[in-house]
C-alpha cells in the first residue's frame, strides 16, 4: 500500500515538476545542413586530387599531390568524426527543488568519494587536503559521505596533512553548513571572502596554523616530533620504517574519521575519511591511476560500499556544494536509471589567464564534445568529476559479473563498523599488490588497464557493454582544478594522453572496428575522434612544411587564385575554422581564446601528438617507457607571473620545441622568398595560396619568434633549440632547392 503511494506520487511529480529536462540546441538544423554541404565539398576536393594525380606528368607533381591527398584524407576523416558531436548537441537542466517530492533525505544513496594523489612534491598535500575538505563539506547528509584518499606517493607527509585535516574538518564542515558557504574549499574561501562574520577569523587562524604545519613538514621532508600529539599517531608513522619507499611498501589504511564515532563541534555526524596507500613492490605492476582506483573500489566496498562512486583528481576541488543533489536528479529518475552508468560533470579550471594561451581549458574535449555525445549514448569518462553507479564496474546492465568474494559485490550490505578488526583486515588484503593476480580486475572488472588514458578506456568499455552515460554542465562549475602553466608541462600532459589513446586504438577495443558495433556508428566516430587525435600531426606537419618549401622553390602546389578550385580550398579552410570558432564562442569562449586554442592545436600537431606517436611506437617495440608522468601542480612565482601576462613559457630544452621553431623559421623564409619573387615582378597567382598559408603559419608562430629572438627572461627559447632548429630549417630549404 505504502509502496503504491510513493509510486503514484513519483509519477505525478515527474510529469508536473520534473527532476530534469533535456533539449537539442537551436544550432542542430544548421549543423546538419552544414554537414551535408561540407561533406560534398570534401568529396569534390578528393575527386580533384585523384584527377590531378591521374594526369600528373612529373614525379614531383605526383609526389606533392599524393602528399596532399594523404593530408586531406586524414583531415577529412577527423572532420567526419566531429559530425558525431554536431548532429545531436544536447543540453540539460535539473530541478533539485523537486527532489524532495520523490526521495526523502534519509533515502538518499550513500556516496564514496575517491581522491587520487601520487606525489607530495608535485601535488602539495595542502592542496589535496583542500580538495578533500571541499568535498566533505557537500550539502548532503554527512553520514552518507565517505572520502577515500588514495596515496600512490606512499607519503607520511600526505597522511600527516590528512590527520590535521580530520581535526580541522570538525570545525570547517559545520561552519560551512551553518553559514551557507558556497566556496567550501578553505583556501579559496579565505582568499575570496571577508571573514569578519561569525567565527570566521578564528577559523581562518586555525586554517593558517594547519597550513603552516603541513607546509613546514613538506619542506623539511619529515614530521617534527612536536607535531605528533599522541601514541596512536606515533604508531601510525612508525609504519614508515626503514625500507619503506614509495615503490616498495606494505598497505597503509588509516581511518581518520568514522561517522558513527565522531561528531563535529556542533554535534552532527562527520563524513568518513579514510587514507589508503595500497601495497607496492617492484615485482607487481601497479597500473598507475587505474590500479589505485581499483584498489579503492575494493577497499571502499569492504568498508562502506556506497552505490555511488565519485572519482576526483587531487587538484579538483568542489566549487558547488549542491553538486550531489544535482546528480541525484538523474539518479533518482527511475525511467533512466536502468542503464545509467555515470554522470559526468565537465572538468573546469581556475587560474586560466584571460586568453588561455595554452588552450588548457580544452573546451572542445571537456565541454562542447560531451554535450554532443550526450545526445547519443553519453559522454566519455574524463577521469574526474564523474559520479558512477557502482554497479557499472561489474558487467553490463543486464549481464552482471560479480566478484567471487561476497564483500566486494556491489549489492553487499556492510554491517560492521569500518574500524572493526575484520573489516580492516579484509581491506588490507584487497589493497595488496598481489590481490589482482589471475583475476579479471582491470580487464573485465573495475577501471581498465592497458592505457595511460585509463579514463577514456574505461568509459569506452562501459559504453560497449551497453551502459549509457550523461553529461551535465551547470552554470556554476561543479569542480575546479589546476592546469599546467608552462608550455612544456602542457605538451607533456598531452603527449601522455596521446600514448594512452593510441593504446586504445591498437587494442581490441578500437572505437571504429569494435566500438561502433556495440555503441552504434556515431558513438564509434565520437570515440574515434579522441582516440585518433595523434594522427592530426600528419596533416599539420605536411601543411606546415610542404607548401612553404615549395614556395621557396617557386613551385605552385595549390590552384590559381582565379580558378574555381581555389574557392573550394577557401571554403574548406574557412568553413571548418568558422564553424569551429562559432562552436567555441557559443560555449562562452572569446575570439582570442579560440585563436589561441587553434594555435595550440597546431603546436600539439607539431610536437605532442607527433612525439606521443613516436613514444607509443617505441613502447610497442618493447623499449623503455616513462609511464604515467604526473603533471606538476606546484607554482613557481616568476613563471606564474609570465603566465598571467600571457607570455609563452619555453625555458627547458625539450626536443618537442624543435619542430615548432623549425616551422617558424621555414614559414618566415617562405614569406621572404615570396616577397622577393613579387618584387622581381613574378606573377603570384599560382603561389597566392602558399603565401597565405605561410603568413598564417607566421602569425601563429609569433610567440616562438619572440621567444627565439628578443626575449631575455628565463622562459625564452633555450639557445640550443634555436641553433638546432635553424640548422634543420636550413637543411630542409637547401634540400628542396637542390632537388
Ligand atoms: O600512478 C598514478 C598516477 C597518477 N595518479 C593520479 O591521477 C590524477 C591525474 O593525474 P595528473 O597528472 O593530474 O594528470 P592529468 O593529465 O592532469 O589528468 C587527466 O588525464 C588523466 C589520464 O591521463 C586522468 O586520469 C585524469 O583524471 C585527467 O584529469 C592525479 O590526481 C594523480 O594523483 C595516481 O593516483 N597514480
Ligand atoms: Mn590534472
Ligand 1 pocket check for 383: Cβ under 6 Å: yes
Pairing of strands 111-117, 145-151: parallel
Q: Is residue 66 part of a domain?
A: yes
Work out the average pLDDT over 396-413. Answer: 95
Q: Give SS3 for 388.
A: strand
Work out the average pLDDT over 254-259. Answer: 96
**Would you state the pLDDT for residue 14?**
53
- 536 and 501 co-located in one domain: no
Work out the average pLDDT over 475-494. Answer: 96
Ligand 1 pocket check for 452: Cβ under 6 Å: yes
- 475 and 600 co-located in one domain: no
Report the nearest-CA residue for atom 27 of ligand 1: 383
- 334 and 237 co-located in one domain: yes
CA distance 353 to 357: 7
Q: Is residue 618 part of a domain?
A: no
Set 112, 320, 455, 580: catalytic member: 455
Q: Is residue 272 part of a domain?
A: yes
**Would you state the pLDDT for residue 4?**
36
Q: Is residue 510 part of a domain?
A: no
Ligand 1 pocket check for 356: Cβ under 6 Å: no
- 490 and 553 co-located in one domain: no
Q: Is the dihedral of CA 120, 126, 129, 134 positive or negative?
A: negative
**Would you state the pLDDT for residue 16?**
73
Q: Give SS3 for 552.
A: helix
- 291 and 393 co-located in one domain: yes
Q: List the one residue out of 541, 561, 540, 555 whose CA is nearest residue 674.
A: 555
Q: Are the beta carbons of 522 and 376 closer than 8 angstroms?
A: yes
Ligand 1 pocket check for 151: Cβ under 6 Å: no
Measure Cα distances from 163 to 112, 160, 288, 296 in Å.
19, 5, 25, 19
Q: Which domain holds residue 707?
A: 28-88+532-607+656-738
The count of domains in the chain is: 2
Query: What ligand is nearest to the CA atom of residue 490?
Result: 1
Q: Compute the distance from residue 289 Cα to the ligand 1 centre, in Å.
A: 6
pLDDT tens-digit map of 486-521:
999 999 999 999 999 999 999 999 999 999 999 999
| pLDDT top residue among 200 and 132 | 132
Q: Compute the distance from residue 385 Cα to the ligand 1 centre, in Å.
A: 12
Measure Cα distances from 334 to 99, 103, 338, 343 in Å.
13, 11, 7, 15
**Would you state the pLDDT for residue 737?**
75
Q: Give SS3 for 660.
A: helix
| pLDDT top residue among 557 and 479 | 479
Work out the average pLDDT over 235-255. Answer: 92
Report the nearest-CA residue for atom 22 of ligand 1: 453
Clarify whether 583 is annotated catalytic. no
Q: Is residue 481 part of a domain?
A: yes
- 235 and 164 co-located in one domain: yes
Report the nearest-CA residue for atom 34 of ligand 1: 289
Query: Which ligand 1 atom is the nearest neighbour of the CA of 629?
Result: 12
- 311 and 218 co-located in one domain: yes
pLDDT tens-digit map of 342-384:
999 999 999 999 899 999 999 999 999 999 999 999 999 999 9
- 341 and 410 co-located in one domain: yes
DSSP-derived letter for residue 582 is H
Domain end, chosen from 505, 522, 546, is at 505
Report the nearest-CA residue for atom 29 of ligand 1: 383
Work out the average pLDDT over 516-535. Answer: 97
Report the nearest-CA residue for atom 23 of ligand 1: 453
**Would you state the pLDDT for residue 219?**
94
C-alpha torsion 536→541→542→545, nearest 10:
160
Domain end, chosen from 456, 488, 505, is at 505
Provide the pLDDT confidence category of residue 435 given band limits of 50, 70 and 90. Answer: very high
% of residues, the chain, pLDDT over 90: 86
Q: Is the pLDDT of residue 403 over 60?
A: yes
How many C-beta atoms surround the C-beta of residue 234 within 10 A?
A: 11
- The packing angle between helices 657-679 and 702-709, to 10°, is 100
Mutation choice for ligand 1 from 288, 309, 383, 492, CB with most ligand atoms inside 8 A: 383
CA distance 712 to 724: 19
Ligand 1 pocket check for 384: Cβ under 6 Å: yes
Q: Compute the distance from residue 82 Cα to the ligand 2 centre, in Å.
A: 25
- 80 and 130 co-located in one domain: no
Clarify whether 455 is annotated catalytic. yes
Query: What ligand is nearest to the CA atom of residue 123?
Result: 1
Domain end, chosen from 453, 487, 505, is at 505
Q: Compute the distance from residue 532 Cα to the ligand 1 centre, in Å.
A: 20
How many C-beta atoms surround the C-beta of residue 258 within 10 A?
A: 18
Ligand 1 pocket check for 118: Cβ under 6 Å: yes
Ligand 1 pocket check for 152: Cβ under 6 Å: yes
Q: Is residue 476 part of a domain?
A: yes
- 53 and 146 co-located in one domain: no
The string over 180-202, giving b where at least 16 C-beta atoms fall within 10 Å of a residue's C-beta and e elsewhere, is ebbbbbbbbbbeeeeeeeebbee
Q: Is the pLDDT of residue 453 over 90?
A: yes
DSSP-derived letter for residue 148 is E
Ligand 1 pocket check for 493: Cβ under 6 Å: yes
**Would you state the pLDDT for residue 5?**
34
Q: What CATH number should be reported for the domain holding residue 149?
A: 3.90.550.10
Q: Is residue 640 part of a domain?
A: no
ipTM of the modeled complex: 0.99
Provide the pLDDT confidence category of residue 15 given band limits of 50, 70 and 90. Answer: low
- 200 and 277 co-located in one domain: yes
| pLDDT top residue among 230 and 732 | 732
- 131 and 173 co-located in one domain: yes
Global pTM reads 0.95
How many C-beta atoms surround the C-beta of residue 266 within 10 A?
A: 12
Set 112, 119, 152, 482: catalytic member: 152
Ligand 1 pocket check for 496: Cβ under 6 Å: yes
Q: Is residue 523 part of a domain?
A: no
- The packing angle between helices 591-606 and 487-505, to 10°, is 60
Amino acid at each position: 500500500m505504502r509502496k503504491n503511494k510513493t509510486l503514484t506520487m513519483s509519477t505525478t511529480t515527474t510529469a508536473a515538476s520534473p527532476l530534469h529536462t533535456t533539449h537539442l540546441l537551436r544550432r542542430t538544423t544548421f549543423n546538419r545542413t552544414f554537414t551535408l554541404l561540407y561533406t560534398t565539398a570534401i568529396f569534390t576536393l578528393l575527386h580533384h586530387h585523384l584527377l590531378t594525380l591521374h594526369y600528373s606528368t612529373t614525379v614531383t607533381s605526383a609526389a606533392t599531390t599524393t602528399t596532399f591527398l594523404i593530408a586531406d584524407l586524414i583531415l577529412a576523416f577527423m572532420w567526419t568524426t566531429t559530425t558525431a558531436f554536431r548532429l545531436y548537441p544536447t543540453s540539460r537542466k535539473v530541478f533539485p527543488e523537486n527532489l524532495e517530492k520523490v526521495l526523502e533525505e534519509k533515502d538518499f544513496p550513500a556516496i564514496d568519494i575517491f581522491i587520487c594523489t601520487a606525489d607530495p612534491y608535485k601535488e602539495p598535500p595542502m592542496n589535496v587536503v583542500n580538495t578533500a575538505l571541499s568535498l566533505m563539506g557537500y550539502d548532503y547528509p554527512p553520514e552518507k559521505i565517505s572520502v577515500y584518499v588514495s596515496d600512490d606517493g606512499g607519503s607520511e607527509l600526505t597522511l600527516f596533512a590528512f590527520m590535521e585535516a580530520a581535526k580541522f574538518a570538525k570545525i570547517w564542515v559545520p561552519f560551512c553548513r551553518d553559514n551557507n558557504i558556497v566556496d567550501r574549499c578553505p583556501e579559496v574561501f579565505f582568499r575570496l571572502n571577508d571573514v569578519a562574520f561569525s567565527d570566521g577569523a578564528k577559523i581562518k587562524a586555525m586554517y593558517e596554523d594547519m597550513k603552516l604545519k603541513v607546509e613546514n613538514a613538506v619542506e623539511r621532508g619529515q614530521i617534527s616530533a612536536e607535531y605528533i600529539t599522541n601514541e596512536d599517531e606515533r604508531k601510525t608513522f612508525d609504519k614508515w620504517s626503514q625500507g619503506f619507499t614509495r615503490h616498495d611498501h606494505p598497505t597503509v589504511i588509516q581511518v581518520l574519521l568514522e561517522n558513527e564515532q565522531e561528531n563535529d563541534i556542533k554535534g552532527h555526524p562527520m563524513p568518513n575519511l579514510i587514507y589508503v596507500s595500497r601495497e607496492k613492490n617492484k615485482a607487481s605492476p601497479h597500473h598507475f591511476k587505474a590500479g589505485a582506483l581499483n584498489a579503492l573500489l575494493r577497499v571502499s566496498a569492504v568498508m562502506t560500499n556506497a552505490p555511488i562512486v565519485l572519482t576526483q583528481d587531487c587538484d579538483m576541488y568542489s566549487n558547488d556544494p549542491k553538486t550531489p543533489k544535482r546528480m541525484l536528479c538523474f539518479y533518482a529518475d527511475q525511467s533512466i536509471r536502468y542503464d545509467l552508468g555515470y554522470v559526468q560533470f565537465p572538468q573546469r579550471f581556475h587560474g586560466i589567464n584571460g586568453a588561455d594561451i595554452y588552450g588548457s581549458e580544452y573546451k572542445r574535449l571537456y565541454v562542447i564534445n560531451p554535450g554532443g555525445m550526450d545526445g547519443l549514448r553519453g559522454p566519455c569518462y574524463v577521469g574526474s568529476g564523474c559520479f558512477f553507479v557502482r554497479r557499472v564496474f561489474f558487467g553490463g546492465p543486464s549481464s552482471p559479473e560479480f566478484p567471487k568474494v561476497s564483500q566486494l559485490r556491489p549489492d553487499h550490505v556492510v554491517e560492521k563498523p569500518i574500524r572493526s578488526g575484520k573489516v580492516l583486515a579484509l581491506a588490507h588484503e584487497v589493497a595488496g599488490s598481489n590481490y589482482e593476480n589471475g583475476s579479471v580486475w582491470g580487464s573485465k572488472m573495475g577501471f581498465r588497464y592497458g592505457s595511460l588514458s585509463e579514463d577514456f578506456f574505461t568509459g569506452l568499455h562501459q559504453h560497449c557493454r551497453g551502459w549509457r552515460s550523461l553529461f551535465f554542465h551547470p552554470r556554476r562549475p561543479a569542480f575546479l582544478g589546476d592546469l599546467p602553466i608552462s608550455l612544456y608541462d602542457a605538451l607533456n600532459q598531452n603527449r601522455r594522453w596521446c600514448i594512452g589513446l593510441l593504446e586504445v586504438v591498437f587494442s581490441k577495443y578500437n572505437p571504429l572496428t569494435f566500438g561502433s558495433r556495440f555503441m552504434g556508428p556515431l558513438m564509434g566516430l565520437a570515440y574515434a575522434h579522441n582516440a585518433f587525435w595523434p594522427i592530426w600531426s600528419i596533416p599539420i606537419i605536411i601543411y606546415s612544411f610542404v607548401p612553404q618549401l615549395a614556395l621557396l622553390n617557386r613551385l605552385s602546389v595549390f590552384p590559381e587564385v582565379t580558378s574555381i578550385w581555389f574557392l573550394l580550398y577557401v571554403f574548406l579552410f574557412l568553413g571548418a575554422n568558422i564553424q569551429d570558432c562559432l562552436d567555441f564562442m557559443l560555449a562562452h569562449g572569446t575570439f582570442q581564446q579560440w585563436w589561441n586554442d587553434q594555435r595550440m592545436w597546431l603546436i600539439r600537431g607539431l610536437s605532442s601528438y607527433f612525439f606521443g606517436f613516436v613514444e607509443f611506437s617505441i613502447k610497442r617495440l618493447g623499449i623503455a617507457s616513462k609511464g604515467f608522468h604526473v603533471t606538476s601542480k606546484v607554482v613557481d612565482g616568476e613563471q606564474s607571473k609570465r603566465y598571467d601576462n600571457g607570455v609563452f613559457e619555453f625555458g627547458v630544452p625539450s626536443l618537442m620545441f624543435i619542430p615548432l621553431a623549425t616551422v617558424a623559421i621555414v614559414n618566415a623564409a617562405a614569406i621572404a622568398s615570396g616577397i622577393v619573387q613579387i618584387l622581381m615582378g613574378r606573377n603570384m597567382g599560382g603561389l597566392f595560396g602558399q603565401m597565405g598559408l605561410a603568413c598564417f603559419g607566421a602569425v601563429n608562430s609569433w610567440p616562438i619568434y619572440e621567444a627565439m629572438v628578443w626575449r631575455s627572461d628565463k622562459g625564452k627559447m633555450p639557445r640550443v633549440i634555436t641553433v638546432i632548429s635553424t640548422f634543420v630549417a636550413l637543411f630542409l630549404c637547401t634540400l628542396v632547392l637542390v632537388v
